[in-house]
Chain A
Amino acid sequence: MTTWTPTPYQVVTRTVETHDSVTLVLRPVAESLPAFSPGQFAMLYAHGIGEVPISISGIPGDGTLVHTIRAVGAVSRALHDAGPGTVIGVRGPFGTAWQLDGAEDLLVVAGGIGLAPLRPVLGHPAKRTVLVAGARTRQDLLYQDELAGLSDVDVVLTVDHGDHDWHGRVGFVTEPLASIPLDPDRTTALLCGPEPMMRFCARTLLGRGVRAERIQVSLERNMQCGIGLCGHCQLGPLLLCRDGPVTGYPTAEPLLLAKEL
């Protein structure tokens, strides 16, 4: 079963992003996988421990893969700790990509590690790109230096809990969404973060006149195969490894409203 066999990649660089997250750049050992699109994910295999789905968080275009990994369980901890030279198994690309065709103004809304799958979109040539990113604390905000250096993206950062060294906004990402200038007829909104966050953000945007079809969310469930065979990633009618993770809001909304679906 070649679909189950990972392709070996080697860690080239490991950049510490936050107290629990790193970005790994992976280079193929020999053969390489087909190109990934923003929003898609790979199954990353830590030898002898297991495999987890991780979104692509950068597309350098030189055949390397970029993944930002937060250590939350045994496998992601092992990947998080993988230093340069470590061989990691990779399968992919899997799932749906952010739909950017015809997008005029891009509104990118991220919560926590949800910024990782949206990072490759920030370089997309839109007329206007606004990023609203939130995290629990200043220490949890990803890519802070990189975001500060973005000249063609309006960046709004907010944290749930402020401290003495934080001089920016305090509060949920829904708050700036309610007030930032946007043209609802031109806006394509891309949302990734905890489900309640995406639901409240979408509701705020719908209230401001953004059409539901122009709102995309990235959904997550337990993914073990990536190819629609294991059944774990079902969300109602969707097999999220195949029909997601990026899903249009008209499809996602009723599924997100059902409890324990």
Chain B
Amino acid sequence: MQVVLDLDGLDALIGVLRQDGRVVVGPVLRDDAITLAELGSAADLPSGWGVGTGPGHYRVRRRQDTAVFGHSAGPQSWKRFLHPPRRALISSDPAGFHPVEDNAPDYAFLGVRPCDLAAITKLRQIVGGRAPFVVAAQCTEPGEVCFCASMGCGPAAGSGYDIALTERIDSTGHRFLATSGTGEGAEVLARVPARAASPDDVALAEQDVEAAANRMGRAMPELDLRDLLARNRDSAHWEAVAERCLTCGNCTMVCPTCFCVSVEDTTDLDGNAERSQRWASCFEIDFSYLHGGAVRTSGASRYRQWMTHKLGTWHDQFGTSGCVGCGRCIAWCPAGIDITEEAAALAGSEQP
């Protein structure tokens, strides 16, 4: 099903999803960044705001138009809803051990970019949980640190969405081509005021998304990254990265697929305990703690672990890459380390 919505139609879409009892989450402008929060209406969307990104750089900026999805990946990802930063697992008291119910609401994610759509699929493959209703926003304006095209994750929305929107503002107005990806998506769309999509609407949307593929700020080198990383465990290049890496773990926190957690106990004065998981980073020194000390003490070994897992051994463990090309790790690295550049440098260091 393909229809065209205007801004009121988008607002009606949010209304329908809320009527159905879903918590609708989407992009909002907050603290000089595009973050993710519950939407009450389309008025909450960051209309007219875009972003400028670069290595170690992220700034919101005013756009010339009123686009609501005219921004690339922000500091948060949908991970914080599907795999919260902290989650209780069990409680323990003298009567025994009790599972803590997962009381996550029925989410609808609106404005999911194709890179993040791929990330949601990869993350849910590991952490499971209830499937959210997904309204994707196809990418027509990639940023400086984006490389989803070279990871096969965009700029067109792949599988996994219920509805995909393509935003367009031109002389005929501000509108969204809406394509249903599931029966549920079609049912929701049928309840929203819209007009039928013309062949022109469809062709323009396709053209906009196709053009975006050629405007990516970056590209991952076209190599078998899994092999490259497996044969370069002892490369001197890791030391070169470690000279710049602060081992702060920002890359793992902003990554939409980094799923590692640590499990810890908290106790109260009555002797009851709760076990919970919290996001962990392979850059923490204690991450690899084994009786007697950490296995990975050097920055070089910890960067190698992160990058090798993300681009290489993720394939061995989950049958796919762990990277979707969203570029967050580049923008939010205080040292501006660029995973695409490091992959190219590693490959370059192999040349005789």
Contacts and interface: CB of A to CB of B under 8 A. Distances in A.
Secondary structure of the B side of the interface? mixed
A62 to B, nearest CB: 23
A135 interface: no
A45 interface: yes
A142 interface: no
A-side interface size class: 35 or more
B265 interface: yes
Contacts of B187: none
A219 to B, nearest CB: 11
A52 to B, nearest CB: 9
Contact of A89 (B92, B234, B280): B92
Contacts of B90: 1, 4-6
Contacts of A47: 92, 273
Interface in A223-255: 224-225, 228-232, 234, 236-239
B287 interface: yes
25 contacts: A1-B89, A1-B99, A4-B90, A5-B97, A29-B96, A45-B275, A47-B92, A47-B273, A48-B92, A48-B271, A76-B291, A87-B96, A228-B317, A230-B261, A231-B259, A232-B260, A232-B262, A232-B287, A232-B288, A234-B305, A238-B316, A258-B233, A258-B234, A259-B301, A261-B233
Interface stretch (B27-35, B165-173, B292-300): B292-300
A230 B297 contact: no
A239 B317 contact: yes
Contacts of A259: 234, 301
B250 to A, nearest CB: 17
Contacts, number: 111
Interface in A57-77: 72-73, 76
Interface of B: 89-90, 92, 96-100, 102, 126-127, 230, 233-234, 259-265, 267, 271, 273, 275, 277, 280, 282, 287-292, 295-298, 300-301, 305, 308-309, 312-313, 316-317
A230 B262 CA distance: 6
Nearest to A255: B233
Contacts of B282: 231, 234
Nearest to B98: A5
Contacts of B259: 229, 231
Given A229-B261, A231-B259, A231-B280, A260 B297 contact: yes
Contacts of A51: 263, 275
A2 interface: yes
10 tightest Cβ-Cβ pairs between the two chains A and B? A231-B260, A237-B316, A260-B301, A48-B273, A4-B89, A237-B313, A48-B267, A258-B233, A72-B291, A5-B99
